[in-house]
Amino acid sequence: MPSDSPVLRDTASSPPSRSPSPSGNDTLTLRALVSTKDAGVIIGKAGKNVADLRDHTGVKAGVSKVVPGVHERVLTVSGSVEGVAKAYALIVSQLVSANPSSPVSPNSPPPNTAIRLLISHNLMGSVIGRNGLKIKAIQDASGARMVASKDMLPQSTERIVEVQGSSESIGRAIEEIGRCLLEDWERGQGTVLFHPGSGDERSGRRSSNASRRYNGDAGRGRTSPSPNAPLQQPTNLRTQNISIPSDMVGCIIGRNGTKITEIRRLSGSKISIAKEPHDETGERMFTIVGTPEANEKALFLLYNQLESEKERRVGRDQQQQEEMQD
> Sheet holding 28-35: strands in order across?
60-63, 72-79, 28-35, 113-120, 158-165, 145-148
- Cα–Cα dist 195/19, whole Å: 13
- pLDDT, residue 261, reads 92
Which pLDDT tens digit goes with each residue over 236-249? 888 888 778 788 88
In order, the DSSP letters of 228-292 are TSPPPPPS--EEEEEEEEHHHHHHHH-GGGHHHHHHHHHH--EEEE-SS-SSTT-EEEEEEEE-H
Q: Which CATH superfamily is domain 1-18+235-326 in?
A: K Homology domain, type 1 (3.30.1370.10)
Report which secondary-structure segment, H or E, holds 86. Answer: helix 81-98
Q: Does domain 20-188 have CATH number 1.20.1510.10?
A: no
Q: Dmax over Cα atoms in the chain, in whole Å?
A: 70
Quote the pTM value: 0.60
Q: Which residue has the higher pLDDT, 20 or 169?
A: 169
Which pLDDT tens digit goes with each residue over 51-103? 999 999 999 999 999 888 899 999 999 999 999 999 999 999 999 988 765 44
Q: Are 115 and 163 in contact (CB under 8 A)?
A: yes
Q: Are 105 and 167 in contact (CB under 8 A)?
A: no
Hey, what long-range contacts does 56-60 have (CB within 8 A, 24 or more apart)?
56/86, 56/90, 57/83, 57/84, 57/86, 57/87, 57/90, 58/83, 59/83, 59/84, 59/87
Q: Residue 191 gets which letter from DSSP?
A: -
Residue 42 has pLDDT above 80, yes or no: yes
Q: Which residue has the higher pLDDT, 1 or 38?
A: 38
- The three-class DSSP label of residue 69 is coil
Q: Which residue has the higher pLDDT, 213 or 132?
A: 132
Q: How far is CA 215 from the centre of its chain?
A: 36
- Cα–Cα dist 14/215, whole Å: 37
- pLDDT, residue 214, reads 29
- Cα–Cα dist 98/30, whole Å: 23
Q: Are 138 and 176 in contact (CB under 8 A)?
A: yes
Range list for CATH 3.30.310.210 in the chain: 20-188
Sorting pLDDT into bands at 50, 70 and 90, what band is 1? Answer: very low
Which pLDDT tens digit goes with each residue over 115-129? 999 998 888 889 998
Range list for CATH 3.30.1370.10 in the chain: 1-18+235-326
Nearest CA-CA partner of 72 in 184, 153, 167:
153
* Cβ atoms < 10 Å from Cβ of 52: 13
- pLDDT, residue 5, reads 46
